[in-house]
Amino acid sequence: MGEKRLLVKGSPPAPLDRELTVVGMPLNRRDGLEKVTGQAKYSSDLHMPGMLHGKILRCPHLRARITRIDASRAEILPGVRAVLTKENTKGWRTYWYEIPQIALPECLTYEGQEVAVVAAEDVDTAQRALDLIEIEYETLEPMIDMEEVLKNPPPPCVADEEYPGRDLFDRKPFILRRGDVEKGFGEADLTLEETYTTPTQYHASIQTRACVANWDGQNLIVWDSTQGVWNSKGSLAKSFGLDPDQVRVIVEHLGGGFGSKAWAHRISFFAAKLSMATKRPVKMEQSREEEFLNHPHRYNSKITLRMGAKKDGTLTATYEKVFLNIGAAANRHNYNANGIIWQTSNLYACPNVHLEQIGVFTNLQLTGPTRSPFNMPAIFPLECHMDKMAGALGLDPLEFRLKNYSTYASTHVKAELREKEMKISYSSKKLDECMKKVTEAIGWERRKALSCFCQGPKRKGIGMAAFIAHQGGGIFPNTAHADVSIHPDGSINLYIGVVDIGGGQKTILAMIAAEELGVALDDITLISGDTEGTRYAPSCHSSRCTAEMGPPILQAAAQARQKLFEIAARFLHVTAEELASKNGEIYVRSNPGVSMPVRTICSNIDPDNPIWGSGSREINPEDPIFSSFGAQAVELEVDVETGGIKILRVTAAQDFGKAINPKLCLSQIVGGIVEFGVGFALTEEGIYDAKTGKMLNPNLHQYRLPTSLDVPHVDAFLVESQEPHFAFSARGGAELTNTPTPAAIRNALYNAIGIWLNDLPLTSEKILTALRAKHEER
């Protein structure tokens, strides 16, 4: 195992050898006041003088070619200032998710793809202009069903020339192997095979995408709704051939993202182009329907899993075949070729595995990061199968999991090391503690008795599931920076180019700086969500923000503090090395009674030369790897007459290292479970017309998110561990909290009614059909 040191470039600061006074405190989020008073400004709230409004004409077909487009009637409509079509934007590419893609192509590959864009004096005129654009399509047979596409691959059409991610168009599987899987099945006393399916899932952020772009002839400013201002800046610069210094991206507040806004999104490019064409600021805001159609949803999957085990429960072999619907756009940045079989390879110890994953390009909309993108389709089949295996072996599901507990990883997370079998340590793994904690908290011992519970039409059950997830950064582009300045008036600024997406980044990242400086959180002024005044910072996705920004923030703060100590040393008559700081005081370590307020020392800073501290993140080492773990248990009630499930309670334990702010960390856990977890399990799925592939439920009425009346009570626990590589031991973890929820619900459902269901969502219709079939069997 490599040296356990803070992941920063250069020499890491020594750990604070004192009690913590800010980190670990359940403080209120810093932007809460603006949010509860309605003062928080989101990009959709902005209005600028002379601002135009942009609207998009979208393709109604899944696969089509434009045979004629005539925008002349739209162009002469009074109030219209610019119309963009393929005719006047030839060669222009956007870089949505870093994918070079013809902005307005002739061949369209998904429903909702842009075919024309209009800027007008008001929304109404822009909308009317869209109706005046004459367009004719030649429609092509859409690719919808994954297996059908693989069996009969349609010949590439012209569209495929520009098909995003066509480098992955070979439709070949990625394979992970170790041991001898045939021999492993030969040694097994029990072999079980099942096929599981998971649906598409949509982010449904309550704020739809919106932005205002302003090109002044020299510089482009975009007030955006992206999760990463630096990512967006880079992509916009590339799209317009600008120097990155000419592009500034600002996000003051963001109304949800969950991965959907991880990179520059398509309207930002169009708004910028329209502003360049009109020399005026242009605002674009997506409707809820557009948010569904033009949207990178979660891949749907079909997964076959076969496992073999000895009578005592020891796993001998695992075979898995994964089909993943990549939809109409993806590349290596948002499609990870082994993002599902990696989890299967590592969660449990199994000597013989053969795991295959194949991503299939279809015309079923865009796909991309969605709160724990691969982890949910990975863990659902695996944790369902573990329960079925345990049942068939007559073992307790918890004991069966602990029997096959793995203390090390067999497949590395780094792409270039993945195909090799290895034995590599985790920086920490307390999954066993998590499993014990959640089962104890739910009352696992009641499980057997509950399977006989019968009160009128009500049945009850308990189930569990565990997970491994590799989130938390150290991924492309493998860098992150932070800066701290201290001024004579006592003000302390923290400059970080990150966006608070609701996870509390403005609060927890400032807490890291405050702790390291030895001051209160309120003493830190934050400059964030803006590419001006900050250096490159990651987008807040993949739970990477705390894990990637923590170390450089700590380094920058420590460096600034050291410079402050050098001034203080003159007044306290000791060397800077003998000083420490806490609660706004700088004191002599060996004699804490000798101290001076930080503010007083600051007054001696040269006004022309304020103190600066800088920090930069080092990339993750090869050894150990930093994965996050957790387990959940669910108690539910099923009505066998209606098929309705009521989830009574969820217990959740997560091993994320340590929480900088437990209050906000617990909110992340609960939030992930009740929305993306319960929703994926019970109600959420994109529904598409079987023939045309068009989405039938692109609204919040028919695409059903859990409401206040559906969500269960969650008891969440933090199982903490030491992580010297990260700032105050904080690894990433927020996005993955929903990962095991659907499997735990499905396993509890079995405990209640004795039926295994393998297809999400677990609708009342599926439950009733299964109950009827079981009844007829008897």
Interface contacts to other proteins, rule CB under 8 A: 28-29, 31-42, 44-45, 47, 203-208, 253-258, 287-288, 501-504, 663-664, 667-668, 670-676, 699-701, 705-709, 711, 713-714
Q: How far apart are CA 175 and CA 105, in angstroms?
A: 35
> Which of 633, 637, 648 shows the shortest CA–CA distance to 461?
637
Q: How far is the CB of 399 from other proteins (least distance, A)?
A: 31
From residue 775, alpha-carbon distances to 76, 459, 750 in Å are: 68, 16, 15
Residue with smaller CB distance to other proteins, 228 or 257: 257
Q: How far apart are CA 679 and CA 574, in angstroms?
A: 60
Residue with smaller CB distance to other proteins, 539 or 758: 539
Residue with smaller CB distance to other proteins, 622 or 715: 715
Query: Sign of torsion, CA 333 338 343 345?
Result: negative
Residue with smaller CB distance to other proteins, 32 or 457: 32
Q: How far apart are CA 765 and CA 771, in angstroms?
A: 10
Name the CA dihedral angle for 124, 128, 131, 132, rounded to a multiple of 10 degrees: -150
Residue with smaller CB distance to other proteins, 713 or 772: 713
Q: How far is the CB of 712 from other proteins (least distance, A)?
A: 9
Residue with smaller CB distance to other proteins, 486 or 714: 714
> Which of 752, 734, 738, 751 shows the shortest CA–CA distance to 681?
738
What is the distance of C-alpha 587 from the center of its chain? 42
Tell me the residue length of the chain. 778
Residue with smaller CB distance to other proteins, 20 or 40: 40
> Which of 470, 679, 538, 541 shows the shortest CA–CA distance to 256?
541
Q: How far apart are CA 556 and CA 549, in angstroms?
A: 11
Close Cβ partners of 395 (under 8 Å, ≥ 6 residues apart): 313, 403
Pairing of strands 315-327, 353-361: parallel
Residue with smaller CB distance to other proteins, 79 or 610: 79
> Which of 418, 246, 238 shows the shortest CA–CA distance to 346?
418
- Give per-residue burial for 744-764: e unless 16+ CB within 10 Å, then b: bbbbbbbbbbeebbbbbbbbb
Q: How far is the CB of 636 from other proteins (least distance, A)?
A: 17
Asked if 192 contacts 675 with a C-beta cutoff of 8 angstroms, the reply is no
Name residue 595's amino acid. S
Residue with smaller CB distance to other proteins, 410 or 661: 661
Q: How far is the CB of 640 from other proteins (least distance, A)?
A: 24
> Which of 350, 658, 629 shows the shortest CA–CA distance to 469?
629
Residue with smaller CB distance to other proteins, 398 or 681: 681
Name the CA dihedral angle for 38, 41, 42, 44, rounded to a multiple of 10 degrees: 90
Q: How far is the CB of 714 from other proteins (least distance, A)?
A: 6
From residue 244, alpha-carbon distances to 210, 496, 560 in Å are: 22, 18, 28
The residue with tokens 């994926």 is 680
Q: How far is the CB of 208 from other proteins (least distance, A)?
A: 7
Asked if 678 contacts 706 with a C-beta cutoff of 8 angstroms, the reply is yes
Residue with smaller CB distance to other proteins, 12 or 529: 529
Q: How far is the CB of 672 from other proteins (least distance, A)?
A: 7
Q: How far is the CB of 348 from other proteins (least distance, A)?
A: 29
Residue with smaller CB distance to other proteins, 108 or 664: 664
Q: How far is the CB of 368 from other proteins (least distance, A)?
A: 17
Residue with smaller CB distance to other proteins, 705 or 755: 705
At 366, list the tokens.
């865009």
Q: How far is the CB of 316 from other proteins (least distance, A)?
A: 40
Kindly tell me the number of DSSP H helices and DSSP E strands found in the chain.
21, 32
> Which of 193, 208, 222, 75 shows the shortest CA–CA distance to 134?
75
Q: How far apart are CA 690 and CA 684, in angstroms?
A: 18
Residue 172 neighbours by CB distance under 10 Å: 10
Query: Sign of torsion, CA 560 563 564 569?
Result: positive
Q: How far is the CB of 56 from other proteins (least distance, A)?
A: 16
Residue with smaller CB distance to other proteins, 41 or 448: 41
Residue with smaller CB distance to other proteins, 552 or 686: 686
Q: How far is the CB of 286 from other proteins (least distance, A)?
A: 11
Q: How far apart are CA 632 and CA 437, in angstroms?
A: 9
What is the distance of C-alpha 626 from the center of its chain? 17
Q: How far is the CB of 36 from other proteins (least distance, A)?
A: 4
Q: How far is the CB of 244 from other proteins (least distance, A)?
A: 28
Strands of the sheet containing 713-718, edge to edge, are 458-469, 628-639, 645-655, 713-718
> Which of 167, 163, 134 shows the shortest CA–CA distance to 63?
163
Residue with smaller CB distance to other proteins, 298 or 481: 298
Q: How far is the CB of 442 from other proteins (least distance, A)?
A: 17
Asked if 95 contacts 239 with a C-beta cutoff of 8 angstroms, the reply is yes
Strands of the sheet containing 591-597, edge to edge, are 579-582, 585-588, 591-597
Q: How far is the CB of 260 from other proteins (least distance, A)?
A: 10
Q: How far is the CB of 37 from other proteins (least distance, A)?
A: 6
Q: How far is the CB of 255 from other proteins (least distance, A)?
A: 3
Residue with smaller CB distance to other proteins, 347 or 652: 652
Q: Distance between the two ends of the chain, CA-based, in angstroms?
A: 57
Residue with smaller CB distance to other proteins, 354 or 506: 506
The residue with tokens 């565990």 is 466
